[in-house]
């Protein structure tokens, strides 16, 4: 079979022939020293064209991230007068529901990596809306608690969030949204199941 344009054949250790994009060093195809994940099987013994079905499917990552950015931008704009982002509001609600909760638990619940989570809560801690709470069992663990001022701020933002939520659900349609919400929850669980246990980046949060 003739080679596809933009690909070169490369003899990988123990894998026969695989294909790499032109211009990439040979070392990128072999001898990768990292923990093996389910994603490593992609591309072994197969050219890119054989990974996808005959009818080209839209990239799941790109499609979902486009939707996420559009929706987040809409909620951020709705919450702008409260000086909260949609992410910060979600964090405050998650903490408020638990009263006092380990920081790592909130990050995992919201599927947030360590850097993004710290960036979201830092302004809330500085403003006194969130505060550190003592841990009953592990003195090293950091627990979060919503302060009285944080609860007032969250309550002020709740009305704007509710208005944005109504507009979004009305635009999508209630029945469609319920179905979409279920599908997205399932897709989240399935995507997490494909990743190595440390991929979420929250297990080592103090």
0.85 cut: is pTM over it?
A: no
Domain ranges of the chain: 7-51, 60-194
Query: Is residue 144 a contact partner of residue 124, using CB atoms and an 8 Å limit?
Result: no
Q: What is the 3-state secondary structure (H, E, C) of 149-196?
A: HHHHHHHHHHHHHHHHHHHHHHHHCHHHHHHHHHHHHHHHHHHHHHCC
Report d(CA 101, CA 78) in Å as an integer: 27
Mean pLDDT computed over every residue of the chain: 78
Quick: pLDDT tens for 16-70.
433 434 444 444 444 444 555 555 555 554 555 555 564 578 899 999 999 999 9
Quick: pLDDT tens for 148-179.
999 999 999 999 999 999 999 999 999 999 99
| Terminal Cα distance for the chain, rounded | 54
Rg (C-alpha) for the chain, rounded Å, is 22
Quick: pLDDT tens for 185-194.
999 999 999 9
* Domain boundaries 60-194, CATH class: mainly alpha
Q: Is the pLDDT of residue 13 over 80?
A: no
Query: Is residue 142 very low, low, confident or very high in pLDDT (cuts 50, 70, 90)?
Result: confident
Place of tokens 């960036």: 119
Per the model's pLDDT, the better-predicted residue between 206 and 128 turns out to be 128
């Amino acid at each position: 079979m003739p080679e596809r344009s933009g690909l070169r054949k490369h003899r990988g250790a123990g894998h026969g022939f695989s294909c790499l994009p032109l211009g990439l060093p040979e070392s990128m195809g072999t001898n990768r020293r990292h923990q093996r994940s389910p994603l490593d099987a992609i591309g072994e013994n197969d050219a890119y064209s054989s990974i996808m079905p005959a009818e080209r499917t839209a990239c799941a990552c790109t499609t979902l991230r486009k939707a996420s950015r559009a929706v987040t931008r809409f909620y951020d704009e709705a919450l702008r007068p409260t000086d909260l982002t949609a992410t910060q509001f979600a964090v405050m609600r998650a903490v408020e529901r638990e009263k006092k909760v380990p920081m790592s638990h909130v990050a995992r619940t919201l599927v947030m990596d360590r850097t993004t989570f710290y960036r979201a809560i830092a302004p809330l801690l500085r403003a006194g809306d969130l505060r550190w709470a003592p841990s009953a069992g592990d003195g090293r663990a950091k627990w979060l608690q919503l302060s009285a001022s944080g609860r007032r701020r969250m309550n002020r933002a709740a009305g704007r969030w509710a208005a944005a939520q109504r507009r979004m659900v009305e635009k999508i349609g209630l029945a469609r949204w319920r179905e979409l919400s279920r599908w997205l929850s399932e897709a989240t669980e399935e995507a997490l199941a494909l990743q190595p246990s440390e991929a979420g980046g929250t297990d080592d949060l103090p």
